[in-house]
Structure 1
Amino acid sequence: MPFFLYLLGLAVFAQGTSEFMLSGLLPDIAADLRVPLSTAGSLTSAFAVGMGVGAPLMALLARRRPPRRALPAFLVTFLLVHVVGAVTTSFPVLLATRVVAALANAGFLAVALATATSLVAPDAKGRATSVLLGGTTLACVAGVPAGALLGAVWGWRSAFWAVAAVSVPAVVAIVRSVPADGGRAPDGEPVRVRGELRTLRSPRLLLTLLLGALVNGATFCTFTYLAPLVTEVAGIGTGWVPAVLALFGLGAFAGVSAGGRLADTRPVPLLLAGGAALLAGWTLLALTAGNPVAALLLVPALGALSFGVGSTLVAQALYAAIGAPTLAGGFATAALNVGAALGPWLGGAALAAGFGYRAPVGVSALLVALALAVGGVALAASRRLSPPRRAPGCVPVPPRRR
């Protein structure tokens, strides 16, 4: 893999830290700004909504600009709004900064995915994707627990300052190292928007995006409320929350690394087996969350399965949208974040309805069950109708009837 991909991963690390760190900070933010915990949870949903809406729009905005200009512009915007978030005393202002940060993050990730996959071999999209998403999982391992620790020692605002500080070297590294011609057609000209949009109507792609949204919704539904789950249900002390978050991150890093190797060669078996294991894991966690040993064993396992399956679906979306080199990353990012918005919202609704801190885990299980049902029906229909031979590594869907 080209070295500049790891520099992009550094920026994704900072952005992933920002996106995930609220899981360990929500109780403190709710208390400081005097809002209910379920309202504070909307900060995660707001970020995800901004990512979901902003990814295709920002990809369109940046498609005629070289990555060396577009990527730093998005990252500097991301940095500045974290400074605002660190000093505000208003929950609405903090909520607005999350939306703007999400738009910047969405644009960055869409351009980064297009740049990365355009400059590697055609059959290496899964590995390139895993490098970028590895920055997100490392955020779970190091950035998110560090943010939770900073929040416990110096308050939640210090975590926002830390994200801004980590973004500075990423800006410098990208300006100096990222090629300016990523995400363009071989002749150096951008692919026409109309042609890309036609590609994005592919049934195979739409199915893959739907599955990605459901799986990511399940991941974020529980992860957003993981801190109160382990403290209030499992009985683990608040001082151990950073360690629990790190366990999830270690599992996620292992999962995305394994997924990157298999997403290019055996995606369908990985998705079927991983999806079934995810359903079993979320169900088991909902039933045994009161046992701290079971919770500590299941958290990293579910991190590995969630990110292994999720990263494979991202790679499959990029394979299915090979004719949309600049917009495919934006739509894949959008789909994942539609799920990341839906999941915490459903989890917060379950909490507000009085079902207790186990409820988000049950919602996660239901979302994965729905994904398995949809994917299973599509796979069965595809085999029954004997579709034409498809490209390796793609999730099958029924062909359109004429």
Structure 2
Amino acid sequence: MPLPLYLLAVAVFAMGTSEFMLAGLLPDIASDLGVTVGTAGALTSAYAIGMVVGAPLAAALARDWPRRSGLLGFLLTFMAAHVVGAGTTSFPLLFATRVVAAVANAGFLAVALTAAAALVPPGRKGRALAVLLSGTTVATIAGVPGGAVLGTVFGWQAAFWAVAAVCLPAALGVLKGIPAGRVRDEAAGRPALRAELAQLTRPRLALVMLLGALVNAATFGGFTFLAPVVTGTAGLGELWVSAVLVLFGAGSFAGVTVAGRLSDRRPQLVIAAGGPLLLAGWPALAVLADAPAALFPLVFVQGALSFALGSTLITRVLYEAAGAPVLAGAYATAALNVGAATGPLIAAAALGAAGNLGPLWASGLLVAVTLLIAYPLRRTVVPAPTGTPSPPPA
């Protein structure tokens, strides 16, 4: 694999770290900026809102952009947003920088997916995309807890500066490794933009997007407020927050790995087995959160189940949006981030009403709603196979 591809993955790592790292920084941000932890949790929603808006917009607008200038512009905007965020003492300004960073993140991914495939021979495009997107998985395991450690030792601003710094080698890779010419229409037979947008009116696509959003809302709702559970309910020191985030990230890696093997051919198994277990896991975590011996393994399991079920549902979005080859990824990203935007808001309300454990109970409720919708419509969510499906275009 060419070096520029790995440097693009470094940028995806920085963006994934930025998206998830606030889970370990919220108490410090809230204290420093004079807001409640629940209010600070809205920063996670701000990022998700920017991704929801930015993903389809950037995917549509970047169809014919010069790849190098598009990637570099989005990356520098993302970096600048973190520099401003690290230097501000205003919560509204920090909120605004999170939205800007998220839109830049969505735009970068929209262009990078095409650029990564163009860097390798046609027969290795799948491997190229796997390298690119591995940045997000590594972020959940290493970047997020690393950001939490930086925030604990040096202050939350240090995590923002670190994300900005990681963007520098990626920018160099874009300048040195990505061609500067304008993208030609490489898929003359692709549907018109209006036809791709019309796919959103299909009930089956709308259903799987809704289910994916609900599961992701539960995931982000519980994940965003793990820090108060660790330091408050479990009574552990702040450095233990990083350990819990590592466990959740390791679980997410395991869940995505297992689901990746099953979600194409046996999605029914993932949904039927993972759904009830995930539903039971959030209340179990709430009840046993004061016992570290139970808290740690349950966090790992919930990370695995959340990402296994969520990634399987998002895979269904890609299949159902096969008639929108350019915007399919944007629809999947939007479904994920609608959940990421609403989940922390619901969890913040539960935090105010029921204390540290409220977000965990709220996550369980969101999974229950998902299963109540999915079970009677299970044949619609996962139609009976008519042959071996082939993945939709990236």
- TM-score norm. by structure 1 comes to 0.87
Q: Which letter does structure 1 place at the counterpart of 2:372?
A: A
Counterpart Cα distance in 2 of 1:179 and 1:267: 39
The gaps in structure 2 that reach 5 residues or longer are: none
How far does residue 7 in structure 1 lie from its aligned partner after superposition?
A: 4.6
Moved more, 174-183 or 287-296: 174-183
Residue equivalent to 1:165: 165
Alignment of 1:40-189 (within 5 A): 40-113=40-113, 133-177=133-177, 187-188=187-188
Residue by residue, what CA displacement relative to the aligned partner does 1:330-374 show, whole Å, maximum 9, x if unpaired?
121111111001110001011122x01111011111111111222
Residue equivalent to 1:310: 310
**Is 2:222 aligned against 1:249?**
no
Specify the SS of the correspondent of 1:265.
coil
Residue by residue, what CA displacement relative to the aligned partner does 1:362-388 show, whole Å, maximum 9, x if unpaired?
1111111111222212125689xxx78
- Give the direction of change, closer, same or farther, for the CA distance of 1:117–1:236 in structure 2 (3 Å limit): farther
How far does residue 109 in structure 1 lie from its aligned partner after superposition?
A: 2.8
Alignment of 1:274-353 (within 5 A): 274-353=274-353
Kindly report the root-mean-square deviation, in angstroms, between the aligned alpha carbons of the 2 structures. Answer: 3.2
How far does residue 293 in structure 1 lie from its aligned partner after superposition?
A: 0.8
How far does residue 145 in structure 1 lie from its aligned partner after superposition?
A: 1.2
The gaps in structure 1 that reach 5 residues or longer are: 395-402
How far does residue 295 in structure 1 lie from its aligned partner after superposition?
A: 0.6
Residue by residue, what CA displacement relative to the aligned partner does 1:264-295 show, whole Å, maximum 9, x if unpaired?
32222222222222112112112211111111
- Give the direction of change, closer, same or farther, for the CA distance of 1:339–1:117 in structure 2 (3 Å limit): farther
Residue equivalent to 1:13: 13
Conserved in 2, the CA contact under 8 Å of 1:274 and 1:309?
yes
Counterpart Cα distance in 2 of 1:187 and 1:300: 42
Residue by residue, what CA displacement relative to the aligned partner does 1:73-98 show, whole Å, maximum 9, x if unpaired?
21221111101101111111111101
Counterpart Cα distance in 1 of 2:144 and 2:58: 26
- Give the direction of change, closer, same or farther, for the CA distance of 1:121–1:351 in structure 2 (3 Å limit): farther
Moved more, 185-194 or 125-134: 125-134
Specify the SS of the correspondent of 2:322.
coil
Residue equivalent to 2:272: 272
Residue equivalent to 1:377: 376
Specify the SS of the correspondent of 1:377.
coil
Moved more, 199-208 or 340-349: 199-208
- Give the direction of change, closer, same or farther, for the CA distance of 1:259–1:129 in structure 2 (3 Å limit): farther
Conserved in 2, the CA contact under 8 Å of 1:133 and 1:256?
no
Moved more, 69-78 or 356-365: 69-78
Residue equivalent to 1:263: 263
Counterpart Cα distance in 1 of 2:71 and 2:361: 38
Counterpart Cα distance in 1 of 2:21 and 2:159: 8
Counterpart Cα distance in 2 of 1:83 and 1:292: 36
How far does residue 202 in structure 1 lie from its aligned partner after superposition?
A: 2.6
How far does residue 54 in structure 1 lie from its aligned partner after superposition?
A: 2.0
- TM-score norm. by structure 2 comes to 0.88
Aligned positions, number? 391
Moved more, 82-91 or 267-276: 267-276
Conserved in 2, the CA contact under 8 Å of 1:126 and 1:261?
no
Moved more, 333-342 or 136-145: 136-145
Residue by residue, what CA displacement relative to the aligned partner does 1:39-58 show, whole Å, maximum 9, x if unpaired?
11111111111111221122
Conserved in 2, the CA contact under 8 Å of 1:125 and 1:319?
no
How far does residue 329 in structure 1 lie from its aligned partner after superposition?
A: 1.3
Residue equivalent to 1:358: 357
Counterpart Cα distance in 2 of 1:151 and 1:340: 22
- Give the direction of change, closer, same or farther, for the CA distance of 1:87–1:207 in structure 2 (3 Å limit): same
Moved more, 168-177 or 316-325: 168-177
Counterpart Cα distance in 1 of 2:45 and 2:278: 22
Alignment of 1:21-36 (within 5 A): 21-36=21-36
Conserved in 2, the CA contact under 8 Å of 1:52 and 1:338?
yes
Counterpart Cα distance in 1 of 2:120 and 2:314: 16
Counterpart Cα distance in 2 of 1:389 and 1:133: 28
Taking every aligned residue pair, what percent have the same amino acid on both sides? 58
Moved more, 176-185 or 20-29: 176-185
- Give the direction of change, closer, same or farther, for the CA distance of 1:390–1:378 in structure 2 (3 Å limit): farther
How far does residue 60 in structure 1 lie from its aligned partner after superposition?
A: 1.7
Q: Which letter does structure 2 place at the counterpart of 1:147?
A: G
